[in-house]
Structure 1
Amino acid sequence: MKKISILSISIIFLLILIFVLVRPKQDIISVNLVSETTEITYTDSESIQIFDDAIRTVKKVRGSVDVGGPPTYRMTVTYANSEVVEYSLYMNFKTKNGFLIKKSNSEKMLDLKDHNSEELADLLSKENRE
């Protein structure tokens, strides 16, 4: 009886693992950023890759968050399957640190990894200089 239980649990775990690894990747087709003074839309593959990497590697911060000020940008991500996801992007350009808050779950902070945050800050700084 124990062997059957262990085998059943192993098979379920294996199926879940296969689903997670084989799940099709959603492709971003555009990212639109809106601040108080500008609106920028990114559709080029290099910029999209920076946003994609940043979104895929966020670290969920435990607990709820209450951010006092407005975000640096309101970010709208459009996927190839027509799904649209909205975020608030908070970026400190001096320290190159940033985080996201998903509109559908505004109490959870999604911390950008250092490398991704730096790439994103560099991309956005370049856009602001032009």
Structure 2
Amino acid sequence: MKKFSILSFSLIILLILLFVLVRPTQKIVSVYLASETTEITYTDRESLQIFEDAIRTVKKVRGSVDVGEPTYRMTVTYANSKVAGFSLYMDFKTKDGFLIKASNSEKMLDLRNKNSVELADLLSKEKED
């Protein structure tokens, strides 16, 4: 009986790990950014990959936040036609950034350093053009 319980528990843990590690990620088909002075739409695979990686790897920050106007309002459209809204806050000098999901405006989603730098570099190109 004990062996059965241990085996069952191990199987459940394995299935949970497989689900977490192998779960399909939604593909982004477009990202629309709007600020007071700029409107940008990204549809190229390279740019979309930067946004996918950034969104997929955010770190939820404990507590609630109260911040000012975002650098950009961001609308993400997925392949299944689902649309998600975010506020993107980016400091172009330090290349630090975070997101706030429109559906949960009190929770900050911190961008990982690598993703924040890639996103800042991508957006800086648009600011120069």
Fold-level match, TM-score > 0.5? yes
Gaps (5+ residues) in structure 1? none
**Percent of matched pairs sharing the same residue:** 78
Q: Report the counterpart of residue 45 of structure 1 in structure 2.
A: 45
Distance 1:109 1:22 in 2: 26
Q: Report the counterpart of residue 106 of structure 1 in structure 2.
A: 105
> CA RMSD of the aligned region, Å?
1.1
Question: How much does 1:64 deviate?
Answer: 1.3
Q: Aligned letter for 2:65?
A: V
- Alignment TM-score, normalising by the size of structure 1: 0.93
Gaps (5+ residues) in structure 2? none
Q: Report the counterpart of residue 77 of structure 2 in structure 1.
A: 78
- Alignment TM-score, normalising by the size of structure 2: 0.94
Q: Which secondary structure state, in structure 1, belongs to the residue aligned with residue 40 of structure 2?
A: strand
Q: Aligned letter for 1:111?
A: D
Q: Report the counterpart of residue 11 of structure 2 in structure 1.
A: 11
Q: Report the counterpart of residue 86 of structure 2 in structure 1.
A: 87
1:58 paired to 2:54? no
**Poorly superposed stretches of 4+, deviation over 4 Å:** none
Q: Report the counterpart of residue 97 of structure 1 in structure 2.
A: 96
* Deviation per residue, 1:75-99 (Å, 9 max, x gap): 0111101111111000011111100
1:125 paired to 2:124? yes
Question: How much does 1:63 deviate?
Answer: 1.4
Distance 1:61 1:13 in 2: 26
